Each structure stands twice: as structure tokens, then as C-alpha cells.
Amino acid sequence: MFFFGIFGVQNKSRVVKEFNNVICRCGRLSSMQLIEEYMYFHFFFIPIFRWGRKYFVQARCCGRLYEVPEDYKDELLTSDTIDLNRLREKESPYKICPSCGKYVDSNYKYCPYCGAEL
Ligand SMILES: [Zn+2]
Ligand SMILES: [Zn+2]
């Protein structure tokens, strides 16, 4: 079809900013990335409109993902610090290996890097 691929819906995410020296719920001092995720409709690869914009904070230490509520996102975008009590913790797609410290998909039972049981 001629029109195939000319328009469509895409899901996109980007890192908006990074916070340093945040104490994560895992107890470690870490840096955290603020991630913006949204859907957009494009026509000839030009985005026409966006919707469903959401913000997440991802911890570098353990891969924990925190969801930013609507009423906190504007404040967080202009702030240098994060108040973790105002974020909701999401089910993380990652675990961290207790033996080698690498990020591992949470479906794995054994670490693919060092073979330790997770
Ligand atoms: Zn952590
Ligand atoms: Zn490992």
C-alpha cells in the first residue's frame, strides 16, 4: 500500500535530566534519571501531536523505577532534588546482581554475567 508507513503512532522516551546524590529506597546513594515518555502521531515522520505524557525516575543503583504523579512533575522539572516520598514505586524490569552488581532482567533466575543465583 502506498500510504503504509507514512503515518502512524510511535512511543518515545527521553532522559530529561539527572539528579545526583539521591538516597534510593535500597539504601544506596545514587544518581537518578528523570525520564519522559509519550506517544505521538506522526505524518511523514513529522510529529503532529503528543499525548499520554508520563514521567518516571530511574535509579542507577538498583534499576528501581519511580512514577512521578501529575501534581509533582512541574516542581520536579525545575528542582535539583527529589522527594522520594512523593513518588510511587513501580515494579522494576531489572534486578541487580548481588554478586557482580550488574543490571539483570528481573525474569532471570541466574545472573548471565557471573552465574550467581538471584
Ligand atoms: Zn537503589
Ligand atoms: Zn552477577
Span 21-34, pLDDT tens digits: 999 998 999 999 99
Neighbours of ion ligand 1 (CB under 5 A): 24, 26, 59, 61-62
Average pLDDT over residues 73-98: 87
End-to-end CA distance of the chain: 48
Which of helix, strand or coil describes residue 61? coil
Residue 27: per-residue pLDDT: 92
Ligand 1 geometric centre to CA of 59 (Å):
6
Gap between the Cα atoms of 113 and 69, Å rounded: 35
- pTM of the shown model: 0.68
Ligand 1 geometric centre to CA of 109 (Å):
20
Residue 1: per-residue pLDDT: 41
